[in-house]
Structure 1
């Protein structure tokens, strides 16, 4: 038995996989002040559903997979550790200068972003190494020891070190690490060459600073999670999801917690890729995960999970650059808990502020009084107050209508249903705009893709989103209500290693590149040995045309450069990738290889069926109820239980399709059917 959890802003999702490959879904409200409590609550719900005690359930499991937003929330809220940064003398402002570029370069009302580590806590080390390894200025250890005493006096909790050319010549960084251990015993620290081996100074320094600032927090959090699970009866392995779409043991996260910043959202594309292939073999899938707080979207093309090294925490150029490989997921502040308000000019706004799980939407009856998207769906008849979470949580429909009346309907001078529709309609438009920006920017026509809706709130307006996009095909997987947690269950034990190795096709240095590939291969084998599983390794080159400022990722055809034909194959792969991304190629220019990465994956799950088990009573028929549809008014709409719909038969809207964890709204123009595997396929 295995568990996979995803801690969202409103609910903590849990997927339980039994030994026969069948899975069940469970949810519990997230506890923002103590996320582990929300995890234990979800496990308690699963135990109760099986008629077991929590200890009995946990005792049957050998693996617990955890996705968490704890790291990124700490950065956003400013609760990461007080961190010092040590840099090469003369480069104290590296985090302030950044890489140049601004989102709105002529908007001078926006203040210049503050560096992640303030200048007052940035210290200079007297040392200088050139790119070829020559030591111009030896490391002044006596001065550095004085600096470490200043760091201790400043009450610093972690230290980051980012020296010039340390990715090629790390001796000085390694020596500073040894001096930190000697003079600041027990102080967590990060060396930039070990966490992000990129030539670019700002990215490397930013990665090191963020990583160091998270070490005290994540060590405590994951230690507490592991301890509390053990106290409750769990004796298996605790795995943590990474930003790169895999998982590692919790003990390894402490060494580089930056890798879990985008932990939870990275899994929805993994699940989306699986369902796109299973249900239709679609070439391009738009994967949208609708939670209570955010709307996360990504593109899966030809089965490849999109990756980025430009993971910004906050707005691009205004936030903080993690600089660490991550599944490329765009998030907007739109979800079931998004709050609706009318401004002084009489304009309606929905989000990005969210009611979260505490106090939650007004219908939760937990003290929330402001109208949300969930309240609007209750007022429209989309959500049954008596069947929320399969009836485990009763909603207050009158409170939802009252909040909408006071917050939106009254100020706009319209009825409650019209106001509720306006809330949902505006939330839908925000989501559509986010998808259009993502797809059009990559030259993709949404009409040619399948939209995959995940998250507990996905079914409420995915049909409307698909229709506005011109996307005729909509897929709601049977595990869609907990799609990120389902993706976690499908994911591999995986990580990524990087090395700096410069060469050019004009005069290719195969010995240097092969030496770097060999080092990466050794790291991958060591990782696989720790996992105790067979590994698949993919090598990626960071390359560019000669004279270009930025590079792109190109999967290498092989693992070594032996013959001239290997260089030719690399060149051809780069030209094809550059043409795919930018629609042009430059056959006359040499190609420069500036870095190498190796992705290692160990398959954690067997080939057994991944099928949702029908819940007891879930297939019982439900009565029809009045539901409001824009342009049609209130219609007496059939309410169907998901598991009761016959497979491979076409049905016409209107209809509401309910499961214990979600409701899918089918308006009158739409048609739908349930696949043999249990997913809903909808033509908008």
Structure 2
């Protein structure tokens, strides 16, 4: 038995996989002040559903997989540890100068962004190593010790070390690490060459600074999670989801928390890839995960999960660059808890502010009074107040009506249902715009893709989103209400390692490149050995045409460069990838190889069916509910239980398809069917 959880802004999702491979879903409200409490509550609900005690349930499990936003929330809210930064003399402003770039270059009212670690907490030490390894200035150890004493006096809880050319010559960084251990015992530190072995100083510095600042917090958090699970009877492995779409053991994450900045959202594309292949063999999928706070979107193209090294925490160029490889997920402030409001001019806005789980939408009855997208769906008849979360949570429908009447309808002079439709319609438009921006930028025609809707609120407006996109195929998986947690359950144990190896096709240094590949292979093999599982390793080159500012990723067909033919194959692969991304190739220019990465993946579960366990249903009379659609008005609409919909049979809308964790709204123009595996396939 295995567990997988995803802690969202509103609900904590839990997927339980039994020994026979069948799975069940469970949800509990997230506790922002204590996320582990929400996890334990979800586990208690799962135990009760099986007629077991929590201790008995946990005692049967072999692993617990956890996705968390605890790290990124700490950065956003300023709760990361007070961290000092040590840099080479003369380079105190690495984090301040950044790499350039502005979202609004001609808007001079926007203040220059603050560095992640302030200038007064950045310390220079005399040392300088050149690119070829020549020591121009020896490390002044006495100055380092004096700096460490200043850090102790100033109450530093963590230290980041970023020296020039440390990615290829790390001796000085390693020595400073030894001095930290001797003079600041117990204070965690991060060495930039070990955190992110990239040639670019700002990215390396930003990664190391973020990594170091999270170590005290995440060590406590993951330690608390492990201890509390153990105290309740769990004796298996605690695994944590990474930004790169895999998972690693909790102890390894505590030592490198930069890996889990985008922990939970990275799993939706993993699940989306699985379901796109299972249901139709679609090579291009738009994966959209609708939570209570955000709408997370990504593209699976040619069956590959998209990756990026430009993971920004906050707005691009104004926020902080993690600089660590991550599944490419874009988030907008639109979800079930997004708050609707009118500005001074009477214009309607939806989001990005969210009611979250506390106090939540007005209909939750937890003190929330402001109207949200969920309240709008309640007014429109999409939600059954007596069957939310399978009937375990009673919704207050009159509260939704009152909130929308007071804040929106009354001020606009419209009916409550018209105001509710406008709220949902605007939220839908925000989501469509986010998807179009992503697809257009990557040259994807939405009409040729399948839209995969995940998240508890996905079913409320995914049909409307698909129609506006011109995307006729909509897939809502049977585990869609907890898609990130489902993705966690089918993800691999994985990690990534990087090395700097600069050379050019003009005079390709095969010895240097092969040495770097060998180093990466040893690291990947060591990681696989620690898991006790067979692993596969993919090698990727970071390369560019000479004179270009930025590089692209090129998967290597061969993990050795022994002959000129191997170099020619690499050159051809780069030209092809460059043309695919930018529509041009420049065969007259030489190609620079900047660095190398190795991704190692170890399958954590057998290649077996992954099916949601059906719920036994009692026969009952057919049900209908009055539902509002803008084009038709109020329509008497059949209400179907998800598991009771016959498989491989076409149906016409309108319909409401309910499960204990989600409701799918199918309007009159749409058609739908339930696949043999249990997913809903809708033609919008």
**How far, CA to CA, are the matches of 2:664 and 2:565 in structure 1?**
54
Match of 1:168 in 2: 168
Distance 1:619 1:84 in 2: 65
Residue equivalent to 1:245 = 245
Residue ranges of structure 2 left out of the alignment (5+ in a row): none
Aligned partner of 2:517 in structure 1 is 517
Q: Deviations over 1:100-125 (max 9, x none)?
A: 11111110111110000000000001
Aligned pairs for 1:122-141 within 5 A: 122-141=122-141
How does 1:594-613 map onto structure 2 within 5 Å? 594-613=594-613
Stretch of structure 1 that moved more, 262-271 or 401-410: 401-410
Equivalent residue for 1:337?
337
- The 5 Å alignment of 1:195-206 reads 195-206=195-206
Cα pair 1:492 1:603 within 8 Å, conserved: yes
In 2, the alpha carbon distance for the partners of 1:408 and 1:467 equals 26
Hey, what's the Cα distance between the residues in 1 that align with 2:254 and 2:4?
20
Describe how 1:416-495 pairs up with structure 2 within 5 A. 416-495=416-495
Residues 544-623 of structure 1 mapped to structure 2, 5 A cutoff? 544-617=544-617, 623=623
**Number of equivalent positions:** 684
Q: Which residue of 1 is the match for residue 37 of structure 2?
A: 37
1:260 paired with 2:264, answer no
Give the match for residue 79 of structure 1: 79
What is the deviation of 1:616?
3.1
Cα distance in structure 1, aligned partners of 2:385 and 2:616 = 20
Deviates more, 1:607-616 or 1:434-443: 607-616
Post-superposition offset of 1:361:
0.3
How far residue 622 of structure 1 moved from its aligned partner, in angstroms, is 5.0
Hey, what does 2:378 align to over in structure 1? 378
SS at match of 2:398: helix
- Give runs of aligned pairs for residues 23-422 of structure 1, distance below 5 A: 23-422=23-422
- Structure 2: how far apart are the matches of 1:148 and 1:390? 57
Q: 1:461 to 1:621 in 2, by over 3 A?
A: farther
Q: What does the per-residue CA deviation read over 1:515-555, in whole Å, with 9 as the maximum and x for residues that have no partner?
A: 00000000011101100000000000000011111000000
**Secondary structure of the corresponding residue to residue 31 of structure 1:** coil
- Using a 3 Å threshold, how does the CA distance of structure 1 residues 153 and 349 change in structure 2: closer, same or farther? same
- Whole-angstrom distance in 1 between the partners of 2:289 and 2:195: 29
Match in the other structure for 1:21 = 21
Q: How far apart, in 1, do the equivalents of 2:303 and 2:622 lie? A: 38
Is the 1:385–1:395 contact (alpha carbons within 8 Å) kept by the matching residues of 2?
Answer: yes
Alpha-carbon distance in 1 for matches of 2:305, 2:82: 35
Equivalent-residue separation in structure 2 for 1:13 and 1:367 (angstroms): 23
Rate the CA distance shift 1:300–1:619 in 2: closer, same or farther, 3 A.
farther
CA distance in 2, matches of 1:425, 1:618: 36
CA distance in 1 between counterparts of 2:140 and 2:33 reads: 45
2:631 paired residue number: 631
- Once structures 1 and 2 are overlaid, which stretch shifts more, 222-231 or 561-570? 561-570
What is the match of residue 507 of structure 1? Answer: 507
Asked whether the equivalents of residues 3 and 17 of structure 1 are also in contact (C-alpha less than 8 Å), the reply is yes
The 3 A distance-change label for structure 1 pair 564 and 619 is: farther
Q: CA deviation at 1:620?
A: 5.7
* Contact 1:618 1:660 survives alignment (8 Å): no
Contact 1:647–1:674 at 8 Å: present in 2 too? yes
Alpha-carbon distance in structure 2 between the residues aligned to 1:448 and 1:644: 31
Change in CA separation of 1:88 and 1:620 when aligned onto 2, cut-off 3 Å: farther
Is the 1:2–1:64 contact (alpha carbons within 8 Å) kept by the matching residues of 2? yes
Q: 1:562 offset after TM fit, Å?
A: 1.4
SS for the counterpart of 2:623 is coil
CA contact (8 A) 1:619 1:641 kept: no
CA shift, 1:619, in A, is 7.8
Q: Distance in 2 between matches of 1:576 and 1:170?
A: 35
Q: What's the CA shift string for 1:575-630, capped at 9, x where partnerless?
A: 11000000000011111101000000000010221000012338866510100001
Distance 2:33 2:674 in 1: 40
Query: Once the two structures are superposed, what CA deviation does each residue of 1:149-174 show, in whole Å capped at 9, x if it has no partner?
Result: 11111111100000000000000000
Pairwise CA distance, 1:264: 0.0
- Residues 150 and 383 (structure 1), Cα distance of their counterparts in 2 relative to 1, 3 Å cut: same
What secondary structure does 1:511 align onto?
A: helix
State which drifts further: 73-82 or 407-416: 407-416
Paired with 1:536 and 1:439, the residues of 2 have a C-alpha distance of 31
CA deviation map 1:627-656 (0-9, x unaligned): 000110000000000011111111000000
1:88-108 residue CA offsets vs partner (Å, 9 max, x unmatched): 100001100000111111101
Name stretches of at least 5 consecutive residues in structure 1 with no aligned partner: none
In structure 2, the residue matched to 1:644 is 644
Whole-angstrom distance in 1 between the partners of 2:139 and 2:413: 72
Distance 1:218 1:200 in 2: 26
Contact 1:125 1:140 in 2 (8 A): yes
CA contact (8 A) 1:273 1:305 kept: yes
Task: Please name the residue that 2:658 is paired with.
Answer: 658
> Are the equivalent residues in 2 in contact too, given 1:127–1:140 (CA < 8 A)?
yes
CA–CA separation in structure 2 for the residues paired with 1:148 and 1:609: 55
State the alpha-carbon separation in 2 of the partners of residues 621 and 535 from structure 1.
53
SS at match of 1:451: strand
TM-score, length basis structure 1: 0.99
Name the SS for the 2:282 alignment partner.
Answer: coil
CA contact (8 A) 1:363 1:399 kept: yes
Cα gap change, 1:622 to 1:374, in 2 (>3 Å): farther
Instruction: Give SS of 2:164's match.
Output: coil
The residue correspondences of 1:660-679 to structure 2 (distance < 5 A) are 660-679=660-679
Distance 2:194 2:203 in 1: 13
- The two structures have a TM-score, normalised by structure 2, of 0.99
Q: CA RMSD in A?
A: 0.8
Quick check: 1:620–1:644 contact (8 Å CA) kept in 2?
no
Q: Secondary structure at the match of 2:136?
A: strand
What is the distance in 2 between the residues matched to 1:202 and 1:475? 41
Return the alpha-carbon distance in structure 2 between the equivalents of residues 8 and 521 of structure 1.
Answer: 36
